Structure 1
């Protein structure tokens, strides 16, 4: 199983693209997780119904078996790490944003936590800027 941490931006799209490619390469299935802590009224990284339909249509068109989940009230890193604890989990794919050292210090970094704590391989990708 390839686990993808999905967000509704170009970083999430890059993670999804690479997750699909890895699932094809490994003849595996995808578990796409788009979570929110639910602490704010609106979370821009949490997919709304129209985008969920678009992502699911894209996954169906890819031909890769998949599961798309949207847990609410959870820590994103903890949710992804829990998925990676499953025996069938092979690889975690995340989008990586560039942040300044001060930004990392003040806000913390979900990506940094995942890279450090995940017991299995992590593929951190960026969108193509070409």
Structure 2
């Protein structure tokens, strides 16, 4: 048995919108509370010339600066090619994550019954606890 202390991992699915910001804030909070490293996943299917949810340039630098200022150990991953549910499940498995944090949107009664297809697949596909974070309701 090794004397090394294994640092846990919190994975966050991040997109540049209020849901992504809420997920990131909770992910940082959970990583800090658990003494874990944070793996932020910002992915793209790569099926469009421009993907507004895929961080580049100044937006990517801003995210890295924000994470560096948080004081938690972090890594930003930007895979291209698979859908977000598959990508998050792969990262959770690879890192043996303790927690996955995702942002979800407010929905109507019917939407609540159906949930988002990506969020539903994530909940069903990953083998760790999932923290689904909502943004504040619109005023």
Per the normalisation by structure 2, the TM-score is 0.83
Contact 2:39–2:74 (CA under 8 A) maintained in structure 1:
yes
What are the within-5 Å matches in structure 2 for residues 3-42 of structure 1? Answer: 3-42=11-50
| Map 1:83-98 → 2, pairs under 5 A | 83-86=91-94, 88-98=96-106
* Partner in structure 2 of residue 2 of structure 1: 10
Query: Residue 111 of structure 1 aligns with which residue?
Result: 119
**Contact residue 14 and residue 41 of structure 2 kept, 8 A:** yes
2:75 is the alignment partner of 1:67: yes
Between stretches 6-15 and 83-92, larger displacement belongs to 83-92
Instruction: State the superposition RMSD in angstroms.
Output: 2.1
Deviations 1:65-92 (A, max 9, x none): 0000111122211110011113631000
Q: 1:61 to 1:127 in 2, by over 3 A?
A: same
Query: How far apart are 1:44 and its partner, in Å?
Result: 1.9
Deviating more after overlay: 5-14 vs 38-47: 38-47
Shift of 1:119: 1.2
Larger Rg: 2
Give distance in 1, aligned partners of 2:130 and 2:27: 11
Relative to 1, partners in 2 of residues 1:44 and 1:87: Cα closer, same or farther, differing over 3 Å?
Answer: closer
Q: Distance in 2 between matches of 1:58 and 1:87?
A: 22
What is the aligned partner in structure 1 of residue 4 from structure 2?
Answer: none
Cα distance in 2 for partners of 1:111, 1:81 equals 11
Q: Which runs of 5+ in 1 are unaligned?
A: none
Cα distance in 1 for residues equivalent to 2:124 and 2:107 = 17
